[in-house]
Amino acid sequence: MNPSSILKSIYQHPQLNSGACEDIFAAHHRVHFEKGEAILSEGQQSNAYYCMESGLARAFAVNSSGKDITTSFFSPGNVIIEVASLFLRVPTKENIAAVTPCVCWKIDFKDFEALFKSVPGFAEWGRTWMSNSLLENKLRSLHMITDSAKDRYLRLQREQPLIIQQAPLKQIATYLGVTDTSLSRIRNEVTKEV
- pLDDT at site 165: 94
Rounded to an integer, what distance in angstroms lies between the CA atom of residue 106 and that of residue 100?
A: 17
137-186 residue pLDDT tens: 999 999 999 999 999 999 999 999 999 999 999 999 999 999 999 999 99
Give the residue from 131, 114, 123, 134 showing the smallest Cα distance to 16.
123
What single-letter DSSP state applies at residue 126?
A: H
Rounded to an integer, what distance in angstroms lies between the CA atom of residue 23 and that of residue 161?
A: 33
Q: Are the C-beta atoms of 11 and 21 separated by less than 8 Å?
A: yes
* pTM for the full predicted model: 0.92
52-96 residue pLDDT tens: 999 999 999 999 999 999 999 999 999 999 999 999 999 999 999
Give the residue from 39, 36, 43 showing the smallest Cα distance to 51.
39
Q: Is the pLDDT of residue 2 over 70?
A: no
Q: Are the C-beta atoms of 123 and 31 separated by less than 8 Å?
A: no
Q: Are the C-beta atoms of 164 and 157 separated by less than 8 Å?
A: yes
- pLDDT at site 59: 97
Rounded to an integer, what distance in angstroms lies between the CA atom of residue 129 and that of residue 15?
A: 13
Q: Are the C-beta atoms of 104 and 30 separated by less than 8 Å?
A: yes
The domains located in the chain, with CATH, are 3-119 (2.60.120.10)
CB atoms within 10 A of CB 27: 16
Rg (CA), the chain: 18
**Which are the contacts of 26, defined by CB distance < 8 A and separation ≥ 6?**
none
Q: State the helix-helix crossing angle for 18-26 and 109-118, rounded to 10 degrees.
A: 160
Percent of the chain with pLDDT over 70: 97
- pLDDT at site 190: 87
Q: Are the C-beta atoms of 83 and 133 separated by less than 8 Å?
A: yes
pLDDT band at 1 (very low <50, low <70, confident <90, very high): very low
- pLDDT at site 3: 53
Q: Is the pLDDT of residue 194 over 80?
A: no
